[in-house]
Amino acid sequence: AQSVTQPDIHITVSEGASLELRCNYSYGATPYLFWYVQSPGQGLQLLLKYFSGDTLVQGIKGFEAEFKRSQSSFNLRKPSVHWSDAAEYFCAVGEGGGFKTIFGAGTRLFVKA
Amino acid sequence: NAGVTQTPKFQVLKTGQSMTLQCAQDMNHNSMYWYRQDPGMGLRLIYYSASEGTTDKGEVPNGYNVSRLNKREFSLRLESAAPSQTSVYFCASSPGIFYEQYFGPGTRLTVT
Distance CA A32, CA A10 (A): 24
Residue type, A5: T
Q: Is A5 on the interface with B (CB under 8 A)?
A: no
Closest CA to B61 of B78, B83, B42, B73: B78
Contact predicate A66/A52, CB 8 Å: no
Q: In the prediction, which pLDDT does B40 show? A: 80
Q: Is B101 on the interface with A (CB under 8 A)?
A: yes
Q: In the prediction, which pLDDT does B109 show? A: 97
Q: In the prediction, which pLDDT does B98 show? A: 52
Q: In the prediction, which pLDDT does A98 show? A: 53
Question: What one-character DSSP code corresponds to residue B8?
Answer: -
Bond into B8 cis (ω within 30): yes
| pLDDT tens sequence across B27-43 | 999 999 999 999 888 89
In the predicted structure, residue B97 carries a pLDDT above the cut 70: no
Contact predicate B43/A90, CB 8 Å: yes
For chain A, which residues score pLDDT lower than 70? 1, 28, 96-99
- For A96, nearest residue in chain B (alpha carbons): B99
Confidence bin at B70 (pLDDT 50/70/90): very high
Least Cα separation, residue B90 to chain A (angstroms):
7
Mean pLDDT, chain B, as a whole number? 93
Task: For residue B98, list chain A residues with Cβ-Cβ distance below 8 A.
Answer: 49, 51, 98
Judged by CB atoms closer than 8 Å, whether chains meet at B41 and A105 is answered as yes
Task: For residue A36, list chain B residues with Cβ-Cβ distance below 8 A.
Answer: 103
Helix (H) or strand (E) holding A110: strand A107-112
As a whole number, mean pLDDT of residues B10-14 equals 97
Task: For residue B40, list chain A residues with Cβ-Cβ distance below 8 A.
Answer: 9, 105
Q: In the prediction, which pLDDT does A96 show? A: 60
